């Protein structure tokens, strides 16, 4: 149902209206358009703000996370005053402050194979601002099945990628990457970090492409992969082709409904392969360290710059990716407690140590982050 | 003249922290073999059972080698190889 612009809206959008490429017609199209944002985080922040400012009629926000202090280095749709609030609610309030003419629908849920088609169906365009491979493949496949354009963006440290997957005309994410990396082979942003401005740049490119698709202006980023490197300050463009044998958008698709994406990405639910004897909680460790007698050898497998932020007394630093070269320096008779930031890298380290013949090893559950929460709140968390 | 291979951020730690490495080789496959002989840890991330991993794309200039001649794609001195792995940025928990 088309609705006309009010006089207030005409005043608000005047800088669009006086450009022939947008004009009254284009602005009307924006008002009648609906866009779904998957994720209200780093990419979702500039996306939500610019799409709202541009006058998109309806924005959907899918996010079940809450605003954390460590988000505010880049997630500019949220603020210090909304710490602890659900991100969808924080983002909705900010969007309404920026532009009360935008209708905002929120979904306080993790997108899954069970709900994705129903959530995506009412929207014209889907924007992928997710932070993990299972959701990325889920969004891609759902968009192909529903024949909706998927405006893609992804970031790591100082590098970003963007493209538009619109399968009538071009390739999809699976044409680019048929299969996800096995877990652990590509570092996450929490391990690798992310330059705060980067999602601002990539998210703004995604917003640009969404607006262009709606008003039908310019050359869309279909069949092209835009690469951005903030350190070199270089944009590059690679050709993307539709894979005729693509399992989801090819001529003989083998994926015709949504699958189990956790399994597809090789993520086993909550299993780190450790036995109960190989785990120790921060409180248990604090008890042992506070008692007289021989203390366990504390092995920190994070990176040196993380060690500089915070580390445990008596600990020894050997980053996970150099561990294999330092087995000789570790005690074989003494108990070893391995820790990292959250407990994932240390679990991998334990795997390596076991294969190297170490027996008395324990993983500090929840890492130094949980130590700071449960044992020593004076320590910084990051 | 050597061909420049640009190394993505995510894999630089396995390539002596270099953002690019120059290698003299007649084909893409030969260039990658020389590169991974120089940096064996990088090899594990690029290849599995001697095959290029499916989440790692290799481009010569702006073309995916899957649509050229794969690893036998010949190189000329002005060509640039890019290794582009899948990335999934955001706030995943450690």
Q: What is the pLDDT of residues A361-375, one digit of tens each?
A: 999 999 999 999 999
Q: What does the pLDDT read at residue A269? A: 53
CB contact under 8 A, A176 and B90: no
Mark whether A249 is an active-site residue: no
Helical pair A23-31 and A198-215, crossing angle rounded to 10 deg: 110
Q: With CA atoms as reference, report the closest residue to A140 among A176, A183, A187, A189.
A: A176
pLDDT at B67 over 70: yes
- Copy the structure tokens of residue B5: 């291979």
A117 CB-side CA count, 13 A: 11
pLDDT at A304 over 50: yes
Global pTM value: 0.82
Average pLDDT on B44-61 reads 90
Run of H or E including A279: strand A279-280
Whether the Cβ atoms of residue A345 and residue A302 lie closer than 8 Å to each other? yes
pLDDT at B1 over 70: no
pLDDT-based confidence at residue B93 (cuts at 50, 70, 90) = very low
Out of A143, A172, A246, A340, pick the active-site residue.
A340
Using CB atoms, pick whichever of B53, B59, B91 lies closest to residue A189. B91
Q: What does the pLDDT read at residue A59? A: 98
For residue range A27-51, what is the model confidence (pLDDT) as tens digits? 999 999 999 999 999 999 999 999 9
Distance, in Å, from the CA atom of A270 to the CA atom of A272, rounded to the nearest integer, reads: 6
> Collapsing DSSP states into helix, strand and coil, what is residue A374?
helix
User: Is residue A257 packed enough to be buried (19+ CB in 10 Å), middle (13-18) or exposed (0-12)?
Assistant: exposed
For residue range A323-353, what is the model confidence (pLDDT) as tens digits? 989 999 999 989 999 999 999 899 989 999 9
Other CB atoms within a 10 A radius of the CB of residue A251 amount to 8
Run of H or E including A106: strand A103-107
**A–B CB contacts, 8 A cutoff, strictly below:** 122
A43 CB-side CA count, 13 A: 32
Sign of CA dihedral B27, B33, B39, B45: positive
Q: Chain A interface, mutation test: which of B10, B66, B88, most A Cβ atoms within 10 Å?
A: B88
- The CATH topology of domain A276-374 is Oxidized Rhodanese; domain 1 (3.40.250)
**Cα–chain center distance at A96:** 24
**Cα–chain center distance at A221:** 21
Q: What ranges do the domains of chain A cover?
A: 33-264, 276-374
Q: From the DSSP assignment, how many helices (H) and strands (E) are in chain A?
A: 15, 13
Distance, in Å, from the CA atom of A24 to the CA atom of A16, rounded to the nearest integer, reads: 8
Look at the block and give the residue holding tokens 């007394």.
A313
Q: What does the pLDDT read at residue A180? A: 86
B39 touches chain A (CB under 8 A): no
**Cα–chain center distance at A104:** 21
Residues of chain A with Cβ-Cβ distance to B87 below 8 Å are: 154-156, 159, 161, 186
Q: What does the pLDDT read at residue B89? A: 66
CA closest to A68 among chain B residues: B91
Q: With CA atoms as reference, report the closest residue to A38 among A154, A169, A180.
A: A154
pLDDT at A359 over 50: yes
Using CB atoms, pick whichever of B85, B90, B94 lies closest to residue A341. B94
Please give the DSSP secondary-structure letter assigned to residue B74.
Answer: B
- Copy the structure tokens of residue B88: 């999934």
Q: What does the pLDDT read at residue A89? A: 97
CA closest to A135 among chain B residues: B88
Dihedral through CA A69, CA A73, CA A77, CA A80, nearest 10? Answer: 40
Q: Which residues pair with A103 in a beta bridge?
A: A58
Q: What does the pLDDT read at residue B45? A: 86
- Copy the structure tokens of residue A211: 């607006």
**Residues contacting A123, CB < 8 A, separation 6+:** A34, A35, A36, A58, A60, A148
Q: What does the pLDDT read at residue A265? A: 84
For residue range A171-222, what is the model confidence (pLDDT) as tens digits? 999 999 988 887 766 655 556 688 999 999 999 999 999 999 999 999 999 9
Distance, in Å, from the CA atom of A123 to the CA atom of A120, rounded to the nearest integer, reads: 6
Between A261 and A181, residue with greater pLDDT: A261
- The CATH topology of domain A33-264 is Rossmann fold (3.40.50)
Q: What does the pLDDT read at residue A276? A: 84
Mark whether A265 is an active-site residue: no
CA closest to A368 among chain B residues: B94
The least confident of A45-54, A134-143, A170-179, B47-56 is B47-56
CB contact under 8 A, A177 and B55: yes
Out of A143, A175, A189, A249, pick the active-site residue.
A189
Look at the block and give the residue holding tokens 């009538």.
A168
Q: What does the pLDDT read at residue B90? A: 42
Residues of chain A with Cβ-Cβ distance to B19 below 8 Å are: 232
Chain B nearest C-alpha distance from A133 (Å): 6
Using CB atoms, pick whichever of A39, A177, A194 lies closest to residue B86. A177
Cα distances (Å, whole numbers) of residue A55 to A129, A199, A207, A373 = 20, 21, 12, 43
Using CB atoms, pick whichever of A131, A161, A177 lies closest to residue B90. A131
Q: With CA atoms as reference, report the closest residue to A37 among A98, A128, A102.
A: A128
Sign of CA dihedral A123, A2, A16, A79: negative
Q: What does the pLDDT read at residue B91? A: 37
**Residues contacting A126, CB < 8 A, separation 6+:** A35, A36, A38, A120, A139, A142, A143, A148, A149, A150, A151
Using CB atoms, pick whichever of A189, A321, A343 lies closest to residue B89. A189
Q: What ranges do the domains of chain B cover?
A: 3-85
Residues of chain A with Cβ-Cβ distance to B10 below 8 Å are: 156-157, 159, 186-187, 192
CB contact under 8 A, B62 and A239: yes
Using CB atoms, pick whichever of A41, A345, A367 lies closest to residue B90. A41
pLDDT at A274 over 90: no
CB contact under 8 A, A154 and B9: no
pLDDT at B92 over 80: no
Cα distances (Å, whole numbers) of residue A321 to A276, A304, A325, A341, B81 = 25, 12, 9, 15, 26
Residues of chain A with Cβ-Cβ distance to B41 below 8 Å are: 321
Report chain A's mean pLDDT, rounded to a whole number. Answer: 93
Q: From the DSSP assignment, how many helices (H) and strands (E) are in chain B?
A: 3, 7
What is the percent of chain A where pLDDT is above 70? 96
State ipTM. Answer: 0.88
CA closest to A131 among chain B residues: B90
pLDDT at B52 over 50: yes
Question: What is the full DSSP assignment across A160-194?
Answer: EEEEEE-TTTS--HHHH-SSPPPTTSS--HHHH-B
CB contact under 8 A, B91 and A131: yes
Domain B3-85: top CATH class? alpha beta
Chain B nearest C-alpha distance from A4 (Å): 38
pLDDT at A152 over 80: yes
Whether the Cβ atoms of residue B42 and residue B14 lie closer than 8 Å to each other? yes
Q: What does the pLDDT read at residue A349? A: 93
CB contact under 8 A, B54 and A177: yes
What is the percent of chain A where pLDDT is above 90? 81
């Amino acid at each position: 149902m088309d609705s006309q612009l009010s006089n207030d809206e005409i005043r608000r959008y005047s800088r669009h209206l006086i450009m022939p490429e947008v004009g009254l017609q284009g602005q009307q199209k924006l008002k009648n358009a609906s866009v779904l944002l998957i994720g209200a985080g780093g990419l979702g922040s500039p996306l939500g703000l610019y799409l709202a400012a541009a006058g998109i009629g309806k924005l959907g926000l899918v996010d079940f996370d809450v605003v954390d202090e460590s988000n505010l280095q880049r997630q500019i749709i949220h603020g210090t005053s909304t710490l602890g609030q659900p991100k969808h609610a924080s983002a909705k309030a900010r969007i309404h402050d920026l532009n009360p003419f935008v209708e905002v629908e929120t979904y306080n849920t993790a997108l899954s194979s069970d709900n994705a088609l129903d959530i995506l169906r009412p929207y014209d365009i889907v924007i992928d601002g997710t932070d993990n491979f299972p959701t990325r493949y889920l969004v891609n496949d759902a968009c192909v099945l529903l024949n909706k354009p998927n405006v893609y963006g992804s970031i790591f440290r100082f590098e970003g990628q963007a493209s538009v997957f619109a399968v009538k005309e071009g390739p999809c994410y699976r044409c680019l990457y048929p299969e996800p990396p096995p877990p652990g082979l590509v570092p996450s942003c929490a391990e690798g970090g992310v330059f705060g401005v980067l999602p601002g740049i990539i998210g703004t490119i995604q917003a640009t492409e969404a607006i262009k698709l709606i008003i039908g202006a310019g050359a869309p980023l279909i069949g092209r992969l835009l690469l951005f490197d903030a350190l070199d300050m270089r944009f590059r463009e690679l050709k993307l082709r539709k894979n005729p044998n693509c399992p989801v958008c090819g001529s003989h698709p083998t994926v015709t409904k949504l699958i189990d994406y956790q399994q597809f990405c090789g993520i086993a639910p909550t299993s780190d392969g450790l036995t109960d004897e190989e785990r120790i909680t921060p409180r248990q460790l604090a008890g042992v360290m506070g008692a007289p007698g021989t203390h366990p050898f504390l092995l920190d497998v994070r990176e040196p710059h993380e060690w500089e932020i915070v580390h445990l007394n008596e600990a020894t630093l050997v980053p996970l990716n150099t561990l294999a070269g330092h087995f000789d320096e570790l005690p074989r008779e003494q108990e070893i407690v391995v820790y990292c930031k959250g407990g994932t890298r240390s679990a991998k380290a334990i795997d390596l140590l076991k294969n190297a013949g170490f027996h008395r090893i324990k993983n500090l559950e929840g890492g130094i982050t949980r130590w700071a929460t449960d044992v020593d709140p004076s320590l910084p968390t990051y | 003249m050597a061909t420049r291979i640009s190394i993505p951020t995510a894999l630089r730690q396995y390539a002596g922290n270099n953002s690019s490495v120059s290698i003299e080789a007649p084909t893409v496959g030969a260039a990658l073999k020389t590169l991974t002989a120089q940096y064996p840890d990088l090899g594990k991330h690029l290849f599995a059972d001697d095959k290029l991993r499916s989440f790692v794309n290799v481009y010569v200039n702006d073309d995916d080698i899957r649509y050229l001649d794969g690893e036998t794609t010949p190189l000329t001195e002005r060509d640039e190889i890019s290794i582009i792995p899948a990335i999934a940025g955001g706030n995943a928990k450690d």
